[in-house]
Amino acid sequence: MLHRVLLNEERIKYTWNKGLAISPEKLEEWVLFFRSKKMDVISLDEALVRCENNDRRKFVVITLDDGYKDNLTIGLPLFKKLNIPVTIYISTCFPDNKTIYWWYFLEEFILKNNSIDLNSIGLDITFRCESVEEKNKAYNYIREVLRRADYATHVNFAHKVCGLSDLEGLNKKLNLSWGEVKELSEEPLVTIGAHTMHHVSLANQKEELAKVEILQSKSEIEAKINKKVDHFAYPYGSLDDGSKREFFILKKAGFKSAVFNHPGSLFSVDGENKFKIPRMGLTDETSKRKVVDLFEGKVHLNFNGVNKTIC
């Protein structure tokens, strides 16, 4: 799982969000590493076929979440050079220029301030954040609260806590436009998937809202790219961001797969398993040992014990 492809000098400017981007050099190094270990880099559709056929060959599927512009400007030339298929999951708030980058705003606010107070947005949370340790604690705690919050809370956080007003300018700079999403969708190496409308944690919203977020993101992207959208990624992707309720909605909507951001092994794509596919984030900092362990099942064992499913 990737989000952004950024030059290293840009990537290292971030603190907690550094891992959201991978440098082109590192991505190339990873792909060469996979190939040296006889792991095929294949498309998500091919991976599902291989699983259904009990094909034992090892493979890697590369996916990017959200819809960042750098996927096109820096990512695409590299995907072509390396000849790697990728799936890009789009939250429609990205090309609609309505993204609330609360994870970046929270990082900037905590780095610049010595305290943070969320009472103005209805959350009884205050933190001192003077020392590095306090800042780490505040970021990690508030990230978990905001991850589960609704879109209106994200908007209020940006305006009332961070005092930000011109969010559209930032959106236009960072987000793929609909024209660019269409351009990517026409590339043979690229598959476009859905990632909700407002980048919310589905299982933490009311059922009716979760349904709208799934169905409307699918239909809006399909209308814009004039292609069917078969694959889905849960925003944030922890195990509490998607549940049986979402597996059912996705299946009924005609999706073929859905991915978490939780490491594990895929034992079968029968039944609901294809709606809870595990993934592992890959960054410049990820160790090769961790990836080898993943392919040997050790990462799955650490996270999930001997349970064969990840949920």
| Contact footprint for Zn ion (CB under 5 A) | 65-66, 235
**For the chain, how many helices (H) and strands (E)?**
14, 11
- Shortest separation between residue 192's beta carbon and Zn ion, angstroms: 14
Q: Which is nearer to Zn ion, 82 or 241 (CB)?
A: 241
Pairwise CA distance, residues 246 & 244, whole Å: 5
Q: To 5 degrees, how large is the angle CA 48–CA 52–CA 55?
A: 90
Residue with tokens 């819809």: 67
Q: Which is nearer to Zn ion, 4 or 135 (CB)?
A: 4
Taking residue 29's Cβ as centre, other Cβ atoms within 10 Å add up to 14
- Shortest separation between residue 167's beta carbon and Zn ion, angstroms: 17
Q: Which is nearer to Zn ion, 65 or 213 (CB)?
A: 65
Which of 84, 71, 61, 44 is closest to 193 using CA atoms?
44
- Shortest separation between residue 234's beta carbon and Zn ion, angstroms: 8
- Shortest separation between residue 66's beta carbon and Zn ion, angstroms: 4
Instruction: Determine what percent of the chain falls in helix, strand and coil, rounding each to the nearest 5.
Output: 50, 15, 40
DSSP string, 176-194: PPHHHHHHHHTSTTEEEEE
- Shortest separation between residue 261's beta carbon and Zn ion, angstroms: 8
- Shortest separation between residue 267's beta carbon and Zn ion, angstroms: 25
Pairwise CA distance, residues 170 & 285, whole Å: 27
Contacts of 62 (CB under 8 A, 6+ apart): 2, 41, 84, 85, 86, 87
Q: In the bound complex, which residue of the shown chain has the CB atom lying closest to Zn ion?
A: 65
- Shortest separation between residue 195's beta carbon and Zn ion, angstroms: 6
Q: Which is nearer to Zn ion, 235 or 263 (CB)?
A: 235
Q: Which is nearer to Zn ion, 85 or 237 (CB)?
A: 237
Q: Which is nearer to Zn ion, 66 or 220 (CB)?
A: 66
- 60: its two tokens: 């890697």
Which of 231, 297, 276 is closest to 43 using CA atoms?
231
Q: Which is nearer to Zn ion, 235 or 278 (CB)?
A: 235
